[in-house]
Amino acid sequence: MASADTARLALRNLRVGRPDGTFILDIAGLKAEPGQCIGVRGPSGAGKSMLLMAMAGLLEGAAGDLRWGQTDLLTRNSGARAAFRQTHVGMIFQDFLLFDELSALANASVSLGFVKVGDRAAIKARAANWLRQLGLQDLDRPVASFSGGERQRVAVARALANDPAILLADEPTAALDWYTADRLSTDLIQAARSGNKTLIAASHDTSFLDRMDRIITLDHGRMVEGAA
């Protein structure tokens, strides 16, 4: 499912405005090659989460030229953007967005409902593999009873279960202890490099950021360091 070309990002003049005419995001340019891992850092409120949402085509008000391979995402309507996300993007949200009443395995393989019957077994198998790889065992228990760090790992497994070309991760290690964070960082980076996926991850975790190929720094919605 992952296509190397889809993982190639070319972004120019990305802007997300506020009603008062100022910008939540105003990014002149950013490129990423398939297999590359890019860290996004910056103070709280700098626009890291908004940048990841814009790159996933989740912000209605985003304007500019945002290409993943041949796909000019911001010119597509919301249905086409959703279809692109479903096929190509694995997203780890800052607040996880899990279904509490569903089990770890059902959450991690939730994209089953959106794919052809023939693709379902592979997604379920990958979801179960990732959950175990990330150190979770009780895959059938509702995630309402999971700890914060366990929920975070379920969200990571869900993002990887579809084998997407693009991984967008919002503080994926924030709820984890040092050891679990380190293991999860290794897994995410390895999944990106070996699968020719582009990983873009917002983080305050310096040991995670240090392992990225590149780091960009945002401040007040602008890229103040790391532009390429």
Site string for ligand ATP, 54-93 (x = CB under 6 A): ----------------------------------------
79 burial type by CB count under 10 A (0-12 exposed, 13-18 middle, 19+ buried): exposed
**Quick one: what does residue 195 bind among ligand ATP, Mg ion, none, with the CB cut-off 5 to 8 Å set by partner type?**
none
Beta bridge partners of 168: 91, 200
Interacting residues with ligand ATP between 17 and 56 (CB under 6 A): 18, 24, 42, 44-50
Here the tokens at position 3 are 């296509």
214 phi, psi to nearest 5 deg: -150, 155
The stretch near Mg ion (CB under 5 A) out of 21-29, 91-99, 156-164, 191-199 is: 91-99
**Quick one: what does residue 180 bind among ligand ATP, Mg ion, none, with the CB cut-off 5 to 8 Å set by partner type?**
none
Shortest distance in whole angstroms from residue 132 CB to ligand ATP: 29
> Is 72 strand, coil or helix?
strand
75 secondary structure, DSSP code? G
* Rounded Cα–Cα distance for residues 206 and 183 (Å): 14
49 binds Mg ion (CB under 5 A): yes
The owner of tokens 């597509």 is 76
Shortest distance in whole angstroms from residue 188 CB to ligand ATP: 18
148 binds ligand ATP (CB under 6 A): no
165 close to 3: Cβ distance less than 8 angstroms: yes
Query: What sections of 89-116 are H helices per DSSP?
Result: 104-108
Residues that bind ligand ATP (CB under 6 A): 18, 24, 42, 44-50, 94
Residues that bind Mg ion (CB under 5 A): 48-49, 94
